[in-house]
Amino acid sequence: MITDFETNLVQAAVDLIDRCQGNDNHSVAAAALDSAGRIHTGLNVYHFTRGPCAELVVLGQAAASSDQLPLTTIVAALDGGRGVIPPCGRCRQVLFDYFPGIRVIVNSRNGLTSVPIIDLLPYVFDERSLEPGAGVQKVYFHPAYLAAVRAGTKTSTIRFQDPVRLGPAELVFETDDGDVTVRAEVTILEEKAIRDLSDTDAVRDGFADRHELLATLEQHYPGIASDANVTLVHFVHPDSSADFSEGTPTCSAT
């Protein structure tokens, strides 16, 4: 379902394209809501050299307004009464680059719905991440580990083909109620074959022993070979009493 404001936004796009019926140069209308609740509209400009989509025209229209407020929601509608359509790949990337928090109204199996632009780009390229001093790295965890990390009983994680670097990090736990983030510092990266993992490694990872750890790794990485190399990522966070910042842990193979 969509809100009343979003319903009005859809209607604005539909009304605009309906007024332009029969014009092959303008077959898509877009409407966007800014943070003050004002609606900006625009039409695509068809040309054999690939003229701009309606969503991009709306970005320009909004930028031309006096306040230049950020856009919060956008929708596009196709002519001929064909209703709401999703943005193309280029528009998705541009929308994310300009307004990473914007929502997009799309058709779902249950009717119109509003989704974050990131949902339309699950593996988005974020140019901002390439800038010097960009945001800290994110390390993702199953939410079941959140309590152990907070309590300081889990001070490491084992990663396979999942690059992590030393330094500040955000440990992200993807819960049903949204992401929970714990600020941390990655202090040591240690390469080791799975068959060489020890009870000490298991305890630092929040498990009772090596056997429990290996069983869990098999669940996370089905069929992984015993000679596969994994990375032991040691970390600390402000509320943790554990500290592996000095030296490399001694790990005995069993």
Compute the distance between CA of residue 241 and CA of residue 100 in angstroms, rounded to an integer.
36
Which amino acid would we find at residue 129?
S
pLDDT tens series, the chain, 254 aa: 899 999 999 999 999 999 988 788 899 999 999 999 999 999 999 988 878 999 999 999 999 987 889 999 999 999 988 889 999 999 999 999 999 999 999 998 888 999 999 999 987 777 766 666 556 788 999 999 999 999 999 999 999 988 898 999 999 998 888 889 999 999 999 999 999 999 999 999 999 999 999 999 999 889 999 999 999 999 998 765 444 333 333 333 32
Enter the pTM of the model: 0.62
Would residue 55 show up in a list of annotated catalytic residues for this protein? yes
What is the reported pLDDT for 239? Answer: 65
- pLDDT computed for residue 130 by the predictor: 60
Q: What is the pLDDT of residue 189?
A: 95
Task: Report the alpha-carbon distance of residue 171 to residue 192 in Å, rounded.
Answer: 22
User: Is the separation of the CB atoms in 202 and 212 below 8 Å?
Assistant: yes
Domains and CATH numbers, the chain: 4-120 (3.40.140.10), 136-236 (3.10.400.10)
Residue 20 confidence (pLDDT): 87
Q: What pLDDT, on the 0 to 100 scale, is given for residue 242? A: 44
Per DSSP, which regions of 152-213 are E strands? 156-159, 167-175, 178-193
- Listed as own residue / partner, the contacts of 244-247 with beta carbons closer than 8 Å and 24 or more positions apart are 244/155, 244/156, 244/187, 244/188, 245/185, 245/187
What is the enclosing helix (H) or strand (E) of 131? none
Selecting among 55, 127, 174, 185, the annotated active-site residue is 55
